[in-house]
Structure 1
Amino acid sequence: MQRYILKNKNLITLISGVLIATAFINLWTVGNMDIFVWSLVIASILGAAPIAIQAYQALRVKVVSIDVLVTIAVIGALLIQSYEESAIVTFLFLFGAFLEQRTLNKTRSAIKELTEMAPESALKQMENGEFVEVEVDDVDEGDVLLVKTGAKVPVDGTVLTGEGSINEASITGESLPVGKEKGSNVFAGTILDNGTIQIVADRVGEDTTFGKIIELVEEAQDSKSEAERFIDRFAKYYTPAVLVLAFIVWLFSRDIELAITILVLGCPGALVIGVPVSNVAGIGNGARHGILLKGSEVISDFSRLDTMIFDKTGTLTVGNPSVAEKEYYGDNIDEALGYLASVERESDHPLAKAVLEEIGATTFSPVENTEVVKGGGIVASVNGHKVAVGNLALMEREDIEINEKTRSDVERFEKNGNSLVLTAIDGELKVLMGVRDRIRPGVKEDLQKLKKLGVKNLVMLSGDNQGTVDVVSRELGLTEAHGNMLPEDKAAYVRKLIEEKGQKVAFIGDGVNDSPSLALANIGIAMGSGTDVAIETSDVVLMNSDFSRLPHALGLTKATARNMKQNIFIAVGVVLVLLASLLFSEWMNMSIGMLVHEGSILAVILNGMRLLRYKLR
């Protein structure tokens, strides 16, 4: 019976409203008091039923909820034969709950849209070579799938054959199509705008990037910030306090109508719902713009930042460096370049790729006894020769002689903003290359926006030499810039700012090499491109590695924090005004109190919903 009543709560609200309307129309026309009274009594009992059931369920788990206050108030009104107020209060309470649910559903529209984007079927290649439509749950890793124009990519995979353009807005928030060809990575939930491709499934189901995004946004929307947890604790004690206050008022005044009016006016509905609706709307806006905010606590910390620390390569710069300057020393340079290319081919570092592109076609030799020197480079044996490739610190470690000419070249390269790649063979320096990365387009303007949003310190930490770091820092107008830093040095610097200087710090990196710093910072922000490590190690993920999303993310969290405070002010202000009106005016009663109470709940929800349309000015 309880389940049936709660399931038909909206229908009960409608019937209750019709009965109340019938009562008053009859009063103003026919004037039959029996119809008037019985219509209101039936409306009161009908309306009170779902409220009383919810109150009973709350009391069973030892919680004095708003439903308990309203149920007691309605019973009291019926006992003193105040049928108009009992009927109107129950109707307004139920109708308010209906409107709340409707508007709250809109604030969760972002996650709903994401869920609807999830692919449901796939064209899977069977053993006979034909492609058959199957449910996406029936796709396993390694299966070959066909994706046609206009279809959703069903899984994360790699293109085997074909070409096309894919809209990756569901992953990155960027609607411009991205060209795909053989070897390109594709993500589940994205849409093939044109072309036809065959892909091999790399990750399926919940393991896909899209699946993880949905999971993260759902977790974030369900998580609670410190403010929300405080309000929950406050409501836990506040609601019984209102009940006690009403009893004390009745005890001293013997005015039961005044006591039950206090029960209605003191309901903390807007206060309980105001903070969560702001956080949910803020997280939803972020999801639409390719920004994953992992929970309400992240929003709170992010909005109070005063320091942002950036990795250089791939964050402030494009991450696709090329050789800008080079110097050769001694004889047999072609042989030295071949050995250098052989060693660099073993590495996937951006500098290694730049060196290989510069050398081009050459003769590769087998590489043995490879030793990776952390923060220095690589030492290995190539054709019986000891080859050291890395920075100046590695050369000093290997006791490579650096003459005056070489030191002059090194200083010049560093002054021009180059990262150095030195190569020594059998203890003799042979090659010096200067590799430069391009600064991301628009980064300087974005950093200025961050300053306007209240970030006082913009700091760059990099493993590159200080000369390179200084050049980038001057061009971008950073507060501080430190070079020659290993991952542990960066982590120590972050810890120092937080523990010794008490600063609120965000670290922005690629989510792989910088994972210690990302974990230590108050807010870790990964330039993600949807990678697993980026999603798992950071608090905020910019899904398409678009630096310009960072000011939007910071502005959004500040707007969400402001919105949260506005909702708390509205909720507390309305309760104080209602109680003051009860004490110092003649016009306040239960019905008006409930109307204003429900209006305040709608006000905080609608105020929170404004965040869904937030854009950085």
Structure 2
Amino acid sequence: MNYFFQDRLNAGLLAIALAGLVSGLVLSLTGFPTAAEFVWTAGVIPVLVALVVDIARSLRRGEVGLDIVAVLSMSAALLFGETLAASVVALMYSGGTSLESFAEGRARLEMRDLLSRVPRTATRHHNGALEEVDLDTIVPGDLLLIRQGDVAPVDGTVASERAMLDQSALTGESMPVGLERDSEVMSGSTNAGEAFDLMASRPAKDSTYAGIVRLVETAQKSKAPMARLADRYSLVFLAVTVSLASAAWWFTGDPVRAVAVLVVATPCPLIIAVPVALVAGLSRAAHFGVLIKGAKPLEAMAQIRTLILDKTGTLTDGRPQIVTIENHGTLSDDEILYFAAALDQASKHPIAQALVAAAKARGMQLPVPQEPDETAGEGVSGSIDGRAVIVGGTGFVAARAGASGSSEALAEPGAVIVALAVDGKPAGHLVMADALRSGMAELLSSLRREGINRILLATGDRRAVAEAVTEGLGLDAVRSDLTPDQKVLLVLTERKNGPVMMVGDGVNDAPALAAADIGVAMGARGAAASAEAADVVLLVDNLDRLLPGFKVARGSRQIAVQSVIAGIGLSIAGMIAAALGHITPVQGAILQEVIDVAVILNALRALRIKA
């Protein structure tokens, strides 16, 4: 409501200033100069009063800004009879304020789109009928109907045969994604196909999208060190402006020159360019699925020189995949997977769930296992299609089937062997591993080109596993067997080489993420603790989003610096020209408005950074 009121107030002041300037010009041109001066003054007073009230509020908050220059310039112009100049300044100031509000609104476009998509209700199946319910009433296990065009209100899984989802608002990917039954759905995705059923897996308040909304709201309230630095420099600029105006009056005896100097300095690009450029950068990063929690981490991200990566779920996919299938009897590879996956439906172990997912990905129709008996962490026995099946670790299967089976030692570092016995005889085994994410070598090379000098791996896994997974990546160091506090120590140690970024997805990574200059959480599947501790959340479960994040952060900061240098340089040149008598107050007001418009348009270039 405050933003709405402020926008209306800015528009009203702009209308008053414009009406006063135009009416006064008409009266002056038609031979009524005295009336013209009265009208110009009347158009300035409301703007001046509103500005004084705003300054008083800022002073109560302990903030001193360049709005004081605007008050001085308008007051001095009225005092020394330059009513036309005062009217032009009032119009330019109110117009500049409205332009700045428009620019910030445009810069927040992507983030505003994220917030505007929050659903308020959901359609739930209940006793064979459909009911419209508030999001707060949804609990895990509820079956929801997602109609075409609806936004998924909570995280869940596809309960229909297929769903087509548009995730562009979350990830920046323009093409809809097809999901099969039991596939995970991220809240905030839009149904781009036929209606489908969604099985809720989390309450609305704990859903991915609710977390994103909280992070966006936090980001919008932040202020970057560069913006705070601009506030401090604005005081210096204020002192320089007043000194130059006083000197021009003192040495020439002409107060109009002092008015012209003040007019040229109103308002200042220093306080406009930085927030617009950084907010535009936040919005642009969100477009690519990189949610940066504010202007401060955006600016810090632009200066990162060391990158520390967790392994499981970050450098690797975090979900075991089948590497090879070997048989010891008459069963084919597909039959081995069929029996193993069918029985593993009775287990929630990650390896078991990965086998089930692999079988379904191949289009296998898995029967319901009969009489399953699971030994936690070791394996499952039961019946599939009337045949006795045992699946699990090699020792577990060998003991139950009365055979030696395959040895776990045959697996490469980081790999796991899943053995299978059918009808009491060894049938084969599947070798599974947490595979390295595709394109990692190319991604790390690209990050080095973006200015990252050191890239390290920090993992709690064994040394042999860490080295096997990262072979050929060209990492500067591999740190293995680390506890959470040792990861924190690594982050602190690496700071001697420059600002450090830590990327992780688990609860054990949260302390290191908080200790780093910039902590990055894999938000799609990462733990809530890591997302809360992090400064940046990747909305897509893919490390390649770091690259556009770096490009946007560095591009935004560069644009902000360019805008400040160019704007301040032009303003100072105009002030010197005014002090020397080459620019009148009216010309100075027009010149400064041209500078402000140019600075804002340049800052908005951050919305078009290519990544």
Is the TM-score greater than 0.5?
Answer: yes
Are 2:103 and 2:276, in contact at CA under 8 Å, matched by a contact in 1? Answer: no
Listed as ranges, the gaps of 5+ residues in structure 1 are 329-341, 371-377, 383-387, 391-405, 424-429
Does residue 140 (structure 1) correspond to residue 138 (structure 2)? The answer is: yes
The residue matched to 2:503 in structure 1 has which SS?
strand
Report 1:6-405 matches (<5 A).
7-25=8-26, 27-28=28-29, 30-58=30-58, 64-126=64-126, 129-134=128-133, 136-137=134-135, 139-142=137-140, 143-161=142-160, 163-236=162-235, 238-239=237-238, 242-243=241-242, 246=245, 255-267=254-266, 269-318=268-317, 319-322=319-322, 324=324, 348=349, 367=375
Report the CA distance between 1:137 and its aligned residue: 4.8
Report the CA distance between 1:569 and its aligned residue: 1.0
User: 2:557 pairs with 545, 555, 561, which one?
Assistant: 561
Are 1:345 and 1:352, in contact at CA under 8 Å, matched by a contact in 2? Answer: no
The residue matched to 1:544 in structure 2 has which SS?
coil
User: 1:540 pairs with 520, 533, 536, which one?
Assistant: 536
One-letter identity of the residue aligned with 2:547: P
The aligned counterpart of 2:443 is: 446
Are 2:522 and 2:538, in contact at CA under 8 Å, matched by a contact in 1? Answer: yes
Task: Please give the alpha-carbon distance, in whole angstroms, between the structure 1 residues aligned to 2:483 and 2:269.
Answer: 50
Map Cα deviations across residues 456-484 of structure 1 (whole Å, 9 max, x no partner): 22223344454454444343333333445
Task: Please give the alpha-carbon distance, in whole angstroms, between the structure 2 residues aligned to 1:275 and 1:67.
Answer: 16
Are 1:171 and 1:530, in contact at CA under 8 Å, matched by a contact in 2? Answer: no
Report 1:375-524 matches (<5 A).
414=412, 418-419=414-415, 435-498=432-495, 501-524=496-519
Task: Please give the alpha-carbon distance, in whole angstroms, between the structure 2 residues aligned to 1:64 and 1:516.
Answer: 37
The residue matched to 1:514 in structure 2 has which SS?
helix
Task: Please give the alpha-carbon distance, in whole angstroms, between the structure 1 residues aligned to 2:393 and 2:254.
Answer: 90
Task: Please give the alpha-carbon distance, in whole angstroms, between the structure 2 residues aligned to 1:271 and 1:598.
Answer: 14
Are 1:530 and 1:543, in contact at CA under 8 Å, matched by a contact in 2? Answer: no
The residue matched to 2:507 in structure 1 has which SS?
coil
Residues 460 and 11 from structure 1, CA distance in 2 versus in 1: closer, same or farther, beyond 3 angstroms?
Answer: closer
Residues 43 and 283 from structure 1, CA distance in 2 versus in 1: closer, same or farther, beyond 3 angstroms?
Answer: same
Map Cα deviations across residues 240-275 of structure 1 (whole Å, 9 max, x no partner): 674576567656765432333333334463212222
Residues 484 and 33 from structure 1, CA distance in 2 versus in 1: closer, same or farther, beyond 3 angstroms?
Answer: closer
One-letter identity of the residue aligned with 2:122: A
The residue matched to 1:153 in structure 2 has which SS?
coil
One-letter identity of the residue aligned with 1:290: G
The residue matched to 2:149 in structure 1 has which SS?
coil
Are 1:217 and 1:283, in contact at CA under 8 Å, matched by a contact in 2? Answer: no
Are 1:124 and 1:139, in contact at CA under 8 Å, matched by a contact in 2? Answer: no
Does residue 571 (structure 1) correspond to residue 567 (structure 2)? The answer is: yes
Are 2:411 and 2:417, in contact at CA under 8 Å, matched by a contact in 1? Answer: no
Map Cα deviations across residues 389-424 of structure 1 (whole Å, 9 max, x no partner): 89xxxxxxxxxxxxxxx9xx96x855xx6546799x
Task: Please give the alpha-carbon distance, in whole angstroms, between the structure 2 residues aligned to 1:596 and 1:345.
Answer: 75
Task: Please give the alpha-carbon distance, in whole angstroms, between the structure 2 residues aligned to 1:522 and 1:314.
Answer: 21
The residue matched to 2:96 in structure 1 has which SS?
helix
Q: Which sits farther off after the overlay, 532-541 or 443-452?
A: 532-541
Report the CA distance between 1:577 and its aligned residue: 1.3
Does residue 589 (structure 1) correspond to residue 590 (structure 2)? The answer is: no
One-letter identity of the residue aligned with 1:443: M
Are 1:172 and 1:529, in contact at CA under 8 Å, matched by a contact in 2? Answer: no
Task: Please give the alpha-carbon distance, in whole angstroms, between the structure 2 residues aligned to 1:287 and 1:305.
Answer: 19
Residues 325 and 496 from structure 1, CA distance in 2 versus in 1: closer, same or farther, beyond 3 angstroms?
Answer: farther
One-letter identity of the residue aligned with 2:22: A
Are 1:153 and 1:187, in contact at CA under 8 Å, matched by a contact in 2? Answer: yes
Are 1:525 and 1:539, in contact at CA under 8 Å, matched by a contact in 2? Answer: yes
The residue matched to 1:285 in structure 2 has which SS?
helix
Are 1:458 and 1:479, in contact at CA under 8 Å, matched by a contact in 2? Answer: yes
Residues 61 and 615 from structure 1, CA distance in 2 versus in 1: closer, same or farther, beyond 3 angstroms?
Answer: closer
Task: Please give the alpha-carbon distance, in whole angstroms, between the structure 1 residues aligned to 2:47 and 2:272.
Answer: 22
Map Cα deviations across residues 527-550 of structure 1 (whole Å, 9 max, x no partner): 221545242232222212122222
One-letter identity of the residue aligned with 2:228: R
Task: Please give the alpha-carbon distance, in whole angstroms, between the structure 2 residues aligned to 1:309 and 1:605.
Answer: 36
Are 2:500 and 2:516, in contact at CA under 8 Å, matched by a contact in 1? Answer: yes
Map Cα deviations across residues 441-462 of structure 1 (whole Å, 9 max, x no partner): 2222222211211212222334
Report the CA distance between 1:576 and its aligned residue: 2.0
TM normalised by structure 1 equals 0.77
One-letter identity of the residue aligned with 1:608: A
Task: Please give the alpha-carbon distance, in whole angstroms, between the structure 1 residues aligned to 2:583 and 2:235.
Answer: 26
One-letter identity of the residue aligned with 2:117: M
Residues 592 and 141 from structure 1, CA distance in 2 versus in 1: closer, same or farther, beyond 3 angstroms?
Answer: farther
One-letter identity of the residue aligned with 2:18: G
One-letter identity of the residue aligned with 1:173: G
Task: Please give the alpha-carbon distance, in whole angstroms, between the structure 1 residues aligned to 2:465 and 2:78.
Answer: 80
Residues 137 and 355 from structure 1, CA distance in 2 versus in 1: closer, same or farther, beyond 3 angstroms?
Answer: closer
Are 2:170 and 2:287, in contact at CA under 8 Å, matched by a contact in 1? Answer: no
The residue matched to 1:481 in structure 2 has which SS?
strand
Residues 492 and 47 from structure 1, CA distance in 2 versus in 1: closer, same or farther, beyond 3 angstroms?
Answer: closer
Residues 510 and 6 from structure 1, CA distance in 2 versus in 1: closer, same or farther, beyond 3 angstroms?
Answer: closer
One-letter identity of the residue aligned with 1:547: L
One-letter identity of the residue aligned with 2:546: L
The residue matched to 1:123 in structure 2 has which SS?
strand
Task: Please give the alpha-carbon distance, in whole angstroms, between the structure 1 residues aligned to 2:169 and 2:7.
Answer: 36
Map Cα deviations across residues 340-377 of structure 1 (whole Å, 9 max, x no partner): xx99998845599679999x99997664xx8xxxxxxx
The aligned counterpart of 1:396 is: none
Are 1:19 and 1:43, in contact at CA under 8 Å, matched by a contact in 2? Answer: yes
Are 1:323 and 1:354, in contact at CA under 8 Å, matched by a contact in 2? Answer: no
One-letter identity of the residue aligned with 1:563: I
Report the CA distance between 1:138 and its aligned residue: 6.0
Report the CA distance between 1:278 and its aligned residue: 1.7
Listed as ranges, the gaps of 5+ residues in structure 2 are 329-342, 360-365, 382-391, 395-406, 420-425
Are 2:265 and 2:575, in contact at CA under 8 Å, matched by a contact in 1? Answer: yes
Report the CA distance between 1:282 and its aligned residue: 0.9
Report the CA distance between 1:97 and its aligned residue: 1.6
TM normalised by structure 2 equals 0.77
One-letter identity of the residue aligned with 1:277: V
Does residue 552 (structure 1) correspond to residue 561 (structure 2)? The answer is: no
How many residue pairs were aligned?
Answer: 557
Task: Please give the alpha-carbon distance, in whole angstroms, between the structure 2 residues aligned to 1:292 and 1:64.
Answer: 31
